Structure 1
Amino acid sequence: MKRFFKNLFGSEEVAEESFSTLGVDMHSHILPGLDDGSDSLERSLELVQVMKSLGYHKLIMTPHIMSDFYRNTPEGIREKLALLQNAVKEAGIEMELACAAEYYLDEGFLEKLDTGQELLTFGDNYILFETSFLNEPLNLREAIFKMRSKGYKPVLAHPERYTYFYGKFDNLVELREQGVLFQPNLNSLTGYYSAGAKNIVEKLIDNGMVDFLGSDTHGLKHTDSLQRVLSSKYLSKAFALPLRNSQL
C-alpha cells in the first residue's frame, strides 16, 4: 500500500511504504572492516537488520577496490561475506547476502582488465565502477571499451555525483549510448549529497536513464536518510522505470 500526503501546494503526492519494489540492493559498504563503511561485525549486523526493515530481501555488498587506499581482493571480500552470512544466520535474520565490488577507475583497475585478473561482478556480468568526483578521467572511454570487450557490462555508480558532468548532461547521454548502465544513489533524491546531485538524478529519471538504484549504505546515517527518500515523488517515478534490481 502507498501513502498519500499533501505537499506545500495542497495537492496529493504518493509516498512509498518501503523499498520492497526494488527488493535487492546492489551497492553498499556493509561488509565489516574492508573500507570506509561498516567497521565491525556488530555494526554490519545492525545495518542488515535495518535494510530488512526497509523492505530489502537481498543485499549485494560492494566494498571499494582502489589501488592506493583499499587494496581489497576477491578472496578477502568473500571471507568477510562468509563471516557476515554466518552471523546473520545465527541472529535469525532472513536476508540473502552476496558480494561484488565497487572498482575505482585507476591504473590498477586497467591492469586487472589487461591481465585478465578476477573481477567481482553481480547479476549478468555487471561490473560496478566509479571515478573521481571532480575530474573526468582521461581514460574513461578506454576503460569502458576494455570492460565491454572483456564481456563485462559496466555500471557507473552514482553518476549524479560527478561534478564534471554538471552542465554537461549530453556527456551522460553519450556514455549511455556507449553501453554504460547507470546506478544513481537513492539518497540523492532528497538532496542528501548536494542540490546538483538531486537535479541530475531527477533529470536521469525524467529521461528514463536509470538501470539500477542503490543505497550506497556506509552506515546508519545513510539508512536514516533512506526513510526520507520514501516520501520523494521521484521515487515512484523511478520505480515505474524498467529497473534491473529485482532481476538480481
Structure 2
Amino acid sequence: MIDIHCHIIPEIDDGPDTIEEALAMANIAENDGIETIVATPHFLEGLYQPTSYSILNRIKIFKDLLDINKINLKIISGTDLHISHKIVERIKSNEFLTINGTRYVLIEFPSQFLHEKVRELLKKMINNSFIPIISHPERNYLFQRSPNLLYDYIKDGALAQVTAMSITGDFGYEVKKIAKKMIVNRLVQIIASDAHSKEARPPILSKAFNVVSKILSPDEANDMVQTIPESVINGHKVYISPPEKVKNLFSLFAR
C-alpha cells in the first residue's frame, strides 16, 4: 500500500516529537503492509513554514535512519499545503513541494471558506497543470454541511483523500457516516493515514481497506490504497469513477 499523506518526519510540525517516535511509526507502517509513504509536513503561514530544502534534507536524514534500523519503507517528499492565494506562483517557484515532484499537490482547506474563491484557485491550479488533492474533506466543517461542494471540485478535475481513521470511526460516528457517504458517491478517491503519532494517530491503512472492501469491493478499495496513489507518486494520469451528488443531505446528520 501507498500512504500519500503522513506526518512522519520528526520535529518539523505537529507530527512526532522525536526520532524514536518517527521510527516507531515507520515500523507500524511497514507491519501494516505500507511500502511507500509521502512525508507531508504542514505548511501553514505563521505557524509551520518549512522550506523545501529543509523538508528534503530531513527526509534524507530519516531515510538513512530507516536503513540503519533495517526498516523497509520508502519515503518520498511532499507537503500538506494550506490553501492560499498565491499557491500556484509559490509552487512554480519551488517554495512548495508537490508530491514526489509531480503535478499532484496535497491541499488542506480551512474550516470555513468561500466556495467561489476556492473554486477559482483550484481551477487556476488545474489550468497550470497542477492537480489538487483535497485532504480529509470528511473532517472539514463546510464539506460536512455541504458535501456537494466537493462534487463541483472533483468535476473540475481535483481529487480528494479520505482519512483512514475517519472510515474506521476513530474520529466519531458522524465523521464515519459522512466518510462512508463520500466513498459511496465516489467523492473521494484515495485513502491515506494523515498519521501524526505512533499511538493516537498511527500510519495504518489496512483497517480502512477492510471496511471499504465491504462498502464497495476489494478491487475498488485496492484502487484507493494502491492503484491511484501509485499513479499519483509516479505523476501518471489518474482514472476515477464519476462522482455523484449527495441527494439526501438530511440523512447525513440523522441517527
Query: Given the superposition, is the C-alpha separation of residues 147 and 233 from structure 1 closer, same or farther in structure 2, using an over 3 Å criterion?
Result: closer
| Matched-pair identity in % | 23
SS at the partner of 1:154?
A: strand
Alpha-carbon spacing, 1:63–1:107, altered in 2? closer, same or farther (3 Å): same
1:28·1:60 contact (CA, 8 Å) conserved in 2?
yes
Which residue does the alignment assign to 1:179? 157
Contact 2:32-2:204 at 8 Å conserved across structures: no
1:194 is the counterpart of 2:172: yes
Once residues 131 and 207 of structure 2 are traced to their aligned partners in structure 1, the CA distance between those partners, rounded to angstroms, is 31
Aligned to 1:203: 181
Q: Does 1:88 align with 2:66?
A: yes
Question: Equivalences for 1:84-233 in 2 at 5 Å?
Answer: 84-107=62-85, 109=87, 112-113=90-91, 116-118=92-94, 119-122=96-99, 124-133=102-111, 135-137=112-114, 139-220=117-198, 221-223=200-202, 229=208, 232=211
Cα deviations across residues 70-107 of structure 1 (Å, max 9, x unaligned)?
01111010011011000000111111111100100134
* Count of equivalent residues: 223
State the alpha-carbon separation in 1 of the partners of residues 192 and 75 from structure 2. Answer: 15
Tell me the distance in 2 between the aligned counterparts of 1:87 and 1:59. 15
Q: d(CA) in 2 for partners of 1:231 and 1:151?
A: 34
Tell me how far apart the structure 1 counterparts of residues 126 and 104 of structure 2 sit (CA, whole Å): 10
Of residues 211-220 and 235-244 in structure 1, the stretch that sits farther from structure 2 once superposed is: 235-244
Question: Is 1:40 aligned to residue 18 of structure 2?
Answer: yes
Deviation of 1:177 after TM superposition, in Å, equals: 0.8
Secondary structure, counterpart of 1:120 in structure 2: coil
- The alpha-carbon deviation at position 137 of structure 1 amounts to 4.0
Aligned counterpart in structure 2 of residue 245 of structure 1, from 214, 229, 232: 229
Distance apart, 1:149 and its partner CA: 2.0
CA shift for structure 1 position 169: 2.3
Which shifted more, 208-217 or 119-128?
Answer: 119-128
- Are residue 64 (structure 1) and residue 48 (structure 2) matched? no
The Cα offsets for residues 144-187 of structure 1, whole Å up to 9 and x where unpaired, read as 02211221111000011111122422222111111110100010
Pick closer, same or farther for the CA change 1:137–1:38 going to 2, 3 Å. Answer: farther
Letter in 2 for 1:172: L
> Do the aligned residues in 1 keep the contact of 2:25 with 2:203 (CA within 8 Å)?
no
Look up the equivalent residue of 2:98 and give its one-letter code.
T
d(CA) in 2 for partners of 1:203 and 1:80?
38
Task: Mark the CA change 1:239 to 1:127 in structure 2 (over 3 Å): closer, same or farther.
Answer: farther
Task: Compare 27-36 and 172-181 and name the one that shifted more.
Answer: 172-181
Q: 1:189 to 1:159 in 2, by over 3 A?
A: same
TM-score (norm 2): 0.79
Does the 8 Å contact 1:64/1:103 carry over to 2? yes
RMSD of Structure 2 on Structure 1 (CA) = 2.3
Is contact 2:6–2:203 with CA below 8 Å preserved after alignment?
no
Q: Which has the higher helix share?
A: 2
* In structure 1, C-alpha distance between the alignment counterparts of 2:122 and 2:203, rounded to whole Å: 34
**Aligned match of 1:73:** 51
